[in-house]
Amino acid sequence: MEQNNYQGALQKPIGSGFNATSTSKEVIKGIDLTGKIAIVTGGYAGIGLETTKTLSSAGATVIVPARDIEKAKKSLEGIPNIELETMDLMNPASIDLFAEKILASGRPLHLLINNAGIMWVPLVRDERGYESQLSTNHLGHFQLTSRLWSALVKANGARVINVSSWGHHYSRFNFEDPNFLNREYETLLGYGQSKTANVLFSLELDIRGKNFGVRSFSLHPGAIVETDLKRHMTSEQLLSTGVMDKEGNIIRDASKGLKTIQQGASTTIFTATSPLLNNIGGVYCENTEVAELDLQDDDPRKRMHGVTRIEGVMPYALEKDTAKKLWSTSEELTGVKFEI
């Protein structure tokens, strides 16, 4: 019987040899990506920038789509094998234009790393009226992956990585009102459902795509303070979530998920390049390893205060029927028919 990760059937550590303290540099050691093409959304800041640097160091050509070209140019200066293009994940037309340019080059696409994301934002809507975290974190990447599908298949062995978060614990995907039209907006609920969508999308994409040589993974990088995700957070919020002390110093403790950028990028690089994952897909990873199911029955927000146990994947993010429903819902919301 063919294996898949519906209901979390494959969510067990595989003995990667790495752990929470591992860095992207350690994970890429010995891996040659010469001749490979990668796209990293948000690849010019934070974890995305570290991902770009690491892939480039292994010989890959890395295409970085950016909304802010000038900022991206400064961040990427001096890194070899980089191509910079314009794209805004909240603008469907710009996604299509970017994808058309990539396809027109005729090149295969070996790695699509859907890394860009926003968090802790006030209620903002895109031109379609969709909530910005859902639009950026999931729907934009769903559309991008769909448009680039033929290039992924052409690679004869590609991976699509969706950078999710432990934040998926905050919310299931709300099919009745995903855009907060009839319920009170709460930023962490919006973030949580978008990150749950990342896990569900990876699960279903892997099952539909593996016969075409395309595997997909999702992951939690860790709580990394030195990224743009914190720009909407107050000092009080940073203090209450346990990532900063009363003196304003960043707290680092990889065992609790409080990581450096290099440690955070390690799981992205692991899911993108590890040969240990050649015959397994649709799994959610963390700490440079396949995560276990989180079967604790408590309020996840209690764990954030003081940072006690930030690990594991929620079973609801791996449900077969929910993954299939999200796929069709994403097609409806984007107007993109993603047929494989």
The tens place of each residue's pLDDT in the chain, 340 residues long, gives 568 999 999 999 999 999 999 999 999 999 999 999 999 999 999 999 999 999 999 999 999 999 999 999 999 999 999 999 999 999 999 999 999 999 999 999 999 999 999 999 999 999 999 999 999 999 999 999 999 999 999 999 999 999 999 999 999 999 999 999 999 999 999 999 999 999 999 999 999 999 999 999 999 999 887 554 445 445 554 444 545 445 555 555 555 667 999 999 999 999 999 999 999 999 999 999 999 999 987 776 665 544 456 799 999 999 999 999 999 999 999 999 999 9
Amino acid at 335: G
Measured distance CA(216)–CA(102) in Å, rounded: 20
Which two tokens mark 92? 């469907």
> What are residue 322's phi and psi, to 5 degrees?
-70, -40
Residues with Cβ < 8 Å from 292, sequence gap 6 or more?
11, 12, 13, 311, 312, 313
According to DSSP, residue 243 is labeled S
DSSP letter string over 12-28?
S----S--TT--HHHHH
Nearest to 120 by CA among 175, 170, 182: 170
Rg (CA), the chain: 18
| Residue of 6, 44, 130, 191 marked active site | 191
Question: What is the pTM for the complete model shown?
Answer: 0.92
3-state secondary structure of 183: coil
Pairwise CA distance, residues 145 & 151, whole Å: 10
> Measured between alpha carbons, how far is 306 from 197 in angstroms, rounded to an integer?
26
Q: How far is CA 135 from CA 10, 177, 267, in A?
A: 29, 14, 24
**Per-residue model confidence (pLDDT) at position 229:** 44
Task: Count CB neighbours of 70 within 10 A.
Answer: 8
Backbone angles phi, psi at 99, to 5 degrees: -65, -40
Cα 223 to Cα 92: distance, rounded to the nearest angstrom:
29
* Known catalytic membership, residue 191: yes
Write phi, then psi, for 57 (nearest 5 degrees).
-65, -25
Q: How far apart are CA 120 and CA 191, in angstroms?
A: 7
Please list, in sequence order, all residues whose beta carbon lies within 8 angstroms of the beta carbon of residue 78, skipping any fewer than 6 positions away. Answer: none
Output the CA torsion sign for 244, 250, 251, 254. Answer: positive
